[in-house]
Structure 1
Amino acid sequence: MSGANILSAGTASLILFGIFFGLLALRVPVAVALGLACLPIMLIEPHLSPMNIVGETFNAYNSFILLAVPFFLLTANLMNVGGITNRLVRLSRALVGHFPGGLAQINVVLSIFFAGISGSSTADAASQSKIFIEAQRREGYDDSFSVAITAVSAVLAVIVPPSILMIVWGGVLTVSIGGLFLAGIVPGLLIGLVQMMTVHAYAKARGYPTYPRATALEALKAMVISVPAMMTPVIIIGGKIFGWFTATESACIAVLYAGTLSLLVYREMDLKGLYAALLDTGKLAAVALFCVGTASAFGWLLAYYQIPKVLLEDVLSWGMGRISTGFFIALVFLVVGCFLDAIPAIIIVGTILQPLAQAAGMDPIHFAMVGIVSLAFGLVTPPYGLCLLISCAVAGIRMADALKDTCIMLLPMLGVLALVILWPDVVLFLPSLISPQFLR
């Protein structure tokens, strides 16, 4: 294909990445920078035209799987507006409020519950910041700690199923989404656990307050009230795993269920609230899907010039084993995640690294989870850490002020990532137990 091209793979990659990183340095939004980086090559190469960008972008949108993205976002917004989040806060308080740093513990547990519903870390960071940062301020928590724990716990939304990143990964790299949903449960819970242990250590060191232990009756009441809300992730994940419906259909059913709960069961959502939820979903979904479109055009050009093959030729000659390949993949995603949104990173970098993972004998689901967990860190690492930016904006502090506490909280999470790489059964255990057909 590249024989009749004017540009070599090296020159094309220099133009693509040079313009892209140059635009990023000028603070151009990532999705726009990806699209603009493609334009010069489309104009230089006689076989291509700017219409190719439009065509490839449309091909990316023309995907049944990606319809799940706006529906999962709408589910999360309906639950916020409909008072469902408040019930989950009450349940979280009954379960962990008596632990040291009670309010921050509730923050982490609510993130685990919410992650099972929304699939979007940015939506989680925005709603959790509004709920917790001011409340923690009133109880004497340091601003840097409050912002860090809110942002860091929000990343659970991309690891605990249903996750938008899993849907994009499954759609782009042809991996079973049901298998990914099952694979994310154990690492997600482990990361939640190490976050709670980190809060415990901070609370002991800094004397953060604790709530009185809930009585058995209070805990039972909170649980009964929350049962309908807790059924949402069961419906989404169970339906996908047992083959009752696809990822997109499960997202639609989740919207209907959340809407029914908010309107008829809890009766806290009016038409104004519904309009606000739809508007917010439209904004978030537009950003996410615009990223998918321009990243796909960028990825198509990489494939056209066979740039991944050129980039990986040297790496493949290193003859790395499965574990060293896993750490190499994690390192690449950790670095890329600092500069690039997770969705374009999956479309571009995931496609490049897939042959390397296959050559090392990594299961596609294991490779996916190493990539997704690594990219989750990018949501709180500068300069692109979107969740950290959102939490800082809500708290009214600079990102630099929250950076030290954020880095401390990421260390035990890196331990979980290392465990996922060293011991694939952490992610493959549930898929192999419940649905072995999802594995290679």
Structure 2
Amino acid sequence: MQHTAHPATDVNPLRVGGALSVIDRWLGVLVEVPAALLVLAEVIVLLTGVVFRYLLHRPVIWSDELASILFLWLAMLGAVVAFRRGEHMRMTALVSGLSPSRRAFFEVVAVAAALAFLVMMLWPSYEYFVDEAFITTPALEIPNSWRAGALPVGIALMIATALIRLAQVGNVKLVATALAGIAAICAVLWGLQPVLKGLGNLNLVIFFVVIVAGTVLAGVPIAFCFGLATFGYLAVATPMPLTVVVSRMDEGMSHLILLAVPLFVFLGLLIEMTGMARAMVRFLASLLGHVRGGLSYVLVGAMYLVSGISGSKAADMAAIAPVLFPEMEKRGAKRGDLVALLSATGAQTETVPPSIVLITIGSVTGLSISALFIGGLMPAIVLGVGLCMVVWWRHRGESLEGIKRASFAEIGKTLVIALPAIALPFIIRAAVIEGVATATEVSTIGIAYAVVMGLLVYRQFDWRRLRPMLVDTASLSGAILLIIGAATAMAWALTQSGFSNALADFMGSLPGGAWTFLAVSVLAFIVLGSLLEGIPAIVLFGPLMFPIAHKLGINDIHYAMVVVLSMGLGLFAPPFGVGYYAACAISRIHPDEGMKPIIGYMLALFVGLIVVTAIPWFSTGFLK
């Protein structure tokens, strides 16, 4: 099952023939081939930069710049591929429980709402493209419009895709009703401009709570929910130019550290295709296969070990899930429990160094990054113990019939076979620590290593699977990056509203001293984590909140761990947490399947967070 249903096409597809069928087929070729080539180009560009800088000592000054230009095109074309294939992340827990006719209506509404956002964004994206022509890139010395052109092109292609999807429904009345409803809501909001502008920050509730919640529950893809709320708020409640939405989305999607997402997604697919995954899983299974829930413990430990290597939690999950999930499913694990545990481990390991969130905290607050790294090790272990307790409870009655404990000889044999695969995470971490490659570039070393191992050691490399893997990589990455871009735009809108300053003033005036402040911080950052991607939230609220904590006598490192873990809990908790949907996209499991199983894991994380908050030693005990 794919991680999202195909909006509209799952319900009442029209037997489309003739011109429309041809257009749809050629649109797929037009988008998928360049998207696949862009993934391959990014690997080559970044790996070339590493080779020339580290081995030949002749840095290629334009490699990062070219990678950044190609990355925005990859993100937008990948988003088009995901939209065409119905793979954008959405929550359909409520919609799936409706009658077929009502479910069909909401499936069309999902496409119509996305279409409304795309149509509204098309002209601002073109204006942004024109404005960027006046900026010249420093290394390649070309107009920045070469990069910015990805936005209007990608939006136009998604509009074309949406129109084809609506035509495929085959029910004119259904489509007309959905489009009329969306248009009516937009018209009402536009007509209420004078009233809304007088409401001040009450608009934040209307747009970022009511509209976001309503569209999410209606099954609209998450990225478009965030985008509609932000665009609507800026359009009718502020005098801000709408190109701001485009520029903020650009900023969120094209941060070079996020390039690790598609590269690690591709690396995960390579590990599976070359047989490295099977070798690694067999060894891990030989160690813990005879234990109830053994591979679930392996998942918790593996996320702790590799977390932070790529600088992106989504990329960390992408490196782990393809290795473990197939074997776990063979052993009877439920798909919902798999994605729930993967998402929970994403929240658990937010403080494991080298965490990009901790680096960001150090940069905006002036705290020692080395101290933050040391302080982040133990809190993640505390939360990991909590997750393992839930795993033990859920698997306590698991039948081990037919599963034998491996002998030492068998373990030794599987270890020898798996050694090249097991060495990969250590090679990746060593490359970062020794300065061979950045957190973004290091995934290309892993890709090159996996290709060599697949060709020469494991002798498994199916060239026919390469193109589908590259297209899948682009699709998954586009779905994830579009959400991050929309969340970044929403974070900027919240900042401009003065919400961040008002929140800080309120929390600084609370009675009860440090303990009340910590308790409210936990709850506040869980909410913020569910609404904002981690780095924007830290940039917005770190400089405001840390001085207050310091005044109240709270250790800065301890407060940093509380903040990061709280945001991680919100970030990976459905229904609004972006990280949860990223985990669903990476594991190709529908979000609805993980909703119930994740409750127990989130409760365990929350208890662990309370323990870390109440006992500062876990964060500061190893500091000098």
Q: Does 1:359 align with 2:548?
A: yes
- The superposition leaves residues 409-438 of structure 1 with CA deviations (integer Å, 9 ceiling, x where unpaired) of 4444333323333345545677x58xxxxx
Q: State the partner residue of 1:112.
A: 301
User: SS of the residue aligned with 2:332?
Assistant: helix
Q: Does 1:136 align with 2:332?
A: yes
Report deviation, 1:216: 2.0
User: Given the superposition, is the C-alpha separation of residues 198 and 54 from structure 1 closer, same or farther in structure 2, using an over 3 Å criterion?
Assistant: closer
Q: How does 1:380-419 map to 2 (within 5 A)?
A: 381-384=573-576, 385-386=580-581, 399=593, 403=596, 406-419=598-611
Query: Aligned partner of 2:522: which letter?
Result: A
* C-alpha separation in 2, matches of 1:380 and 1:189: 18
Larger Rg: 2
Q: Given that residues 203 and 209 in structure 1 are in contact (C-alpha distance below 8 angstroms), is that contact kept between their aligned partners in structure 2? A: no
Q: Does 1:78 align with 2:261?
A: no
Q: State the partner residue of 2:240.
A: 48
User: SS of the residue aligned with 1:253?
Assistant: helix
Report deviation, 1:353: 3.8
User: SS of the residue aligned with 1:247?
Assistant: coil
Report deviation, 1:51: 1.3
Q: State the partner residue of 1:267.
A: 459
* C-alpha separation in 1, matches of 2:588 and 2:265: 21
Q: State the partner residue of 2:201.
A: 10
Q: Given that residues 284 and 298 in structure 2 are in contact (C-alpha distance below 8 angstroms), is that contact kept between their aligned partners in structure 1? A: yes
- The superposition leaves residues 367-399 of structure 1 with CA deviations (integer Å, 9 ceiling, x where unpaired) of 5654554455457754355489679986x9974
Q: Does 1:156 align with 2:345?
A: yes
* C-alpha separation in 1, matches of 2:548 and 2:615: 18
* C-alpha separation in 1, matches of 2:289 and 2:356: 33
**Number of residues of Structure 1 aligned to a counterpart in Structure 2:** 411
Report deviation, 1:308: 0.7
User: Given the superposition, is the C-alpha separation of residues 324 and 348 from structure 1 closer, same or farther in structure 2, using an over 3 Å criterion?
Assistant: farther
Report deviation, 1:326: 4.2
Q: Given that residues 84 and 262 in structure 1 are in contact (C-alpha distance below 8 angstroms), is that contact kept between their aligned partners in structure 2? A: yes
Which TM-score applies when normalising by structure 2?
0.55
The structure showing larger relative contact order (alpha-carbon pairs under 8 Å, at least 6 residues apart) is 1
User: Given the superposition, is the C-alpha separation of residues 331 and 133 from structure 1 closer, same or farther in structure 2, using an over 3 Å criterion?
Assistant: farther
Percent of residue pairs bearing the same amino acid type: 26
The farther-off stretch of 405-414 and 278-287 is 405-414
* C-alpha separation in 1, matches of 2:325 and 2:541: 35
* C-alpha separation in 2, matches of 1:301 and 1:173: 24
* C-alpha separation in 1, matches of 2:223 and 2:264: 21
Q: Given that residues 177 and 247 in structure 1 are in contact (C-alpha distance below 8 angstroms), is that contact kept between their aligned partners in structure 2? A: no
* C-alpha separation in 1, matches of 2:468 and 2:377: 31
Q: Given that residues 253 and 485 in structure 2 are in contact (C-alpha distance below 8 angstroms), is that contact kept between their aligned partners in structure 1? A: yes
Query: Aligned partner of 2:201: which letter?
Result: G
User: SS of the residue aligned with 1:136?
Assistant: coil
Query: Aligned partner of 1:105: which letter?
Result: G
List alignment gaps of at least 5 residues for structure 2: 1-196
Query: Aligned partner of 1:156: which letter?
Result: T
Q: How does 1:172-321 map to 2 (within 5 A)?
A: 174=363, 185-205=377-397, 209=401, 211-318=403-510
User: SS of the residue aligned with 1:293?
Assistant: helix
- The superposition leaves residues 184-229 of structure 1 with CA deviations (integer Å, 9 ceiling, x where unpaired) of 6544455444444444444445655583332222222333333322
User: Given the superposition, is the C-alpha separation of residues 126 and 158 from structure 1 closer, same or farther in structure 2, using an over 3 Å criterion?
Assistant: farther
Report deviation, 1:58: 1.8
* C-alpha separation in 1, matches of 2:218 and 2:418: 47
Report deviation, 1:181: 7.0
Q: Given that residues 158 and 164 in structure 1 are in contact (C-alpha distance below 8 angstroms), is that contact kept between their aligned partners in structure 2? A: no
Q: Given that residues 82 and 269 in structure 1 are in contact (C-alpha distance below 8 angstroms), is that contact kept between their aligned partners in structure 2? A: yes
- The superposition leaves residues 212-262 of structure 1 with CA deviations (integer Å, 9 ceiling, x where unpaired) of 332222222333333322333323334434544322122332333333333
Q: Given that residues 325 and 357 in structure 1 are in contact (C-alpha distance below 8 angstroms), is that contact kept between their aligned partners in structure 2? A: no
Q: Given that residues 93 and 106 in structure 1 are in contact (C-alpha distance below 8 angstroms), is that contact kept between their aligned partners in structure 2? A: yes
User: Given the superposition, is the C-alpha separation of residues 32 and 202 from structure 1 closer, same or farther in structure 2, using an over 3 Å criterion?
Assistant: closer
Which TM-score applies when normalising by structure 1?
0.75
Report deviation, 1:360: 0.7
* C-alpha separation in 2, matches of 1:64 and 1:391: 20
Structure 1 or 2: larger helix share?
1
* C-alpha separation in 1, matches of 2:224 and 2:475: 16
Q: State the partner residue of 1:60.
A: 252
The farther-off stretch of 35-44 and 363-372 is 363-372
List alignment gaps of at least 5 residues for structure 1: 1-5, 138-142, 434-440
Report deviation, 1:300: 1.6
Q: State the partner residue of 1:3.
A: none
